[in-house]
Amino acid sequence: MAFRSAISLTFFSLVLLLLAIGSKAGGIAIYWGQNGNEGTLKETCATGNYEYVILSFLATFGNGQTPMINLAGHCDPYSNGCTGLSSDIKSCQAKGIKVLLSLGGASGSYSLTSTADAKSVATYLWNNFLGGQSSSRPLGAAVLDGIDFDIEGGTNQHWGELAGFLSAYSKKGKKVYISAAPQCPFPDAWIGNALKTGVFDYVWVQFYNNPPCQYTPGNIGNLKDAWKAWTSDIPANKIFLGLPASPEAAGSGFIPVADLKSKVLPVIKGSSKYGGVMLWSMYYDDQSGYSSSIKNYV
């Protein structure tokens, strides 16, 4: 009898372990930096909701332009006022959170004109945000974990080369993670070719503001088809479902928590490339509490 109880207990423990492993299958990525009312970076990481925080944006770079970050109301880069973020970045990293800098955005001024331009931008990013050396690091001494590509304009040229140059810096010591936020129509018009290079670790696909491939109430077919295209054709380590954190965060594509849990996640979690959910953005998530509602299901 005692032997049978031990077996039952062991089986029960195994089930609990498997459930725990299953619940940790995915993480949440959040974009921070485009609203001064969203709280500090340190506070964002202290919520315990996120595994990736993406600083947005380096909105000006390439084509001979002086690179410039734009963190909205958080700090003034023109007066070197963003270097104080260094301690916040280190605080996030101490919790095991990866902090990346996003290039681009919907309203930036950026493009790459040649392979040499891509190499120049990579060198700048390495020296000013990653493991290199510069006397004018905009975010201070903290070494970011990687670079994100949120390319929504300019041209579709040389992004793969930039990603390759950045990834190669991993050989100098600390791994440089490369991520991207393409639109869900496959392939992405701006960085579709770049994503074929195989150097991207995380791809958080924007399943919003794109009616042909996003979820609509009662119809998961379009999202399911697009998800299958992304996970079967893009050689990235992990693919994420990118969503607005509230109905106000995007023109369309918001998925109510109940629908995400019961209809969407069960369909997409079957992929071995499933990485979790990306949310735009911290400001809207702070208002809605969306990440807190979904984190145990992601």
Which domains are assigned to the chain? 29-294 (3.20.20.80)
What phi and psi values does residue 183 have, to the nearest 5 degrees? -75, 155
Q: Are 71 and 55 in contact (CB under 8 A)?
A: yes
Q: Are 182 and 188 in contact (CB under 8 A)?
A: yes
Distance between CA atoms of residues 231 and 195, nearest Å: 12
Q: What is the DSSP string of the chain?
A: -HHHHHHHHHHHHHHHHHHHHHHTS-EEEEEESS-TTS--HHHHHHTS--SEEEEEEEEEESTTPPPEE--TTS--GGGTTTTTHHHHHHHHHHTT-EEEEEEEETT-EE---SHHHHHHHHHHHHHHTSSS--TT-TTTT---SEEEEEE-SS-SSSHHHHHHHHHHGGGGSS--EEEE--BSSSSPTTTTTGGGGS--SEEEEE-SS-TTTS-BTTB-HHHHHHHHHHHHH---SEEEEEEESSGGGSSS----HHHIIIIIHHHHTTSTTEEEEEEE-HHHHHHH-HHHHHTTT-
What phi and psi values does residue 147 have, to the nearest 5 degrees? -125, 135
pLDDT at 121: 98
Of the chain, the end-to-end C-alpha distance in Å amounts to 39
Catalytic residue from among 38, 152, 161, 248: 152
Closest CA to 191 of 162, 166, 214, 165: 162
Write out the two tokens for 50: 């996120």
Q: Let me know if 38 is a catalytic residue.
A: no
pLDDT at 249: 98
Closest CA to 291 of 48, 57, 92: 48
pLDDT at 25: 78
Distance between CA atoms of residues 159 and 199, nearest Å: 11
pLDDT at 2: 45
- Tell me the whole-structure pTM to 2 decimals: 0.92
Tens of pLDDT, residue by residue, the chain (298 residues): 443 444 444 554 444 444 444 444 799 999 999 999 999 999 999 999 999 999 999 999 999 999 999 999 999 999 999 999 999 999 999 999 999 999 999 999 999 999 999 999 999 999 999 999 999 999 999 999 999 999 999 999 999 999 999 999 999 999 999 999 999 999 999 999 999 999 999 999 999 999 999 999 989 999 999 999 999 999 999 999 999 999 999 999 999 999 999 999 999 999 999 999 999 999 999 999 999 999 999 9
Distance between CA atoms of residues 91 and 95, nearest Å: 7
Write out the two tokens for 49: 């909701």
Closest CA to 251 of 287, 209, 206, 280: 209
Q: Are 199 and 234 in contact (CB under 8 A)?
A: no
Closest CA to 41 of 94, 89, 103, 105: 89
Q: Are 241 and 277 in contact (CB under 8 A)?
A: yes
pLDDT, tens digit (0-9, with 9 covering 90-100), for 209-264: 999 999 999 899 999 999 999 999 999 999 999 999 999 999 999 999 999 999 99
The length of the chain, given as a count of residues: 298
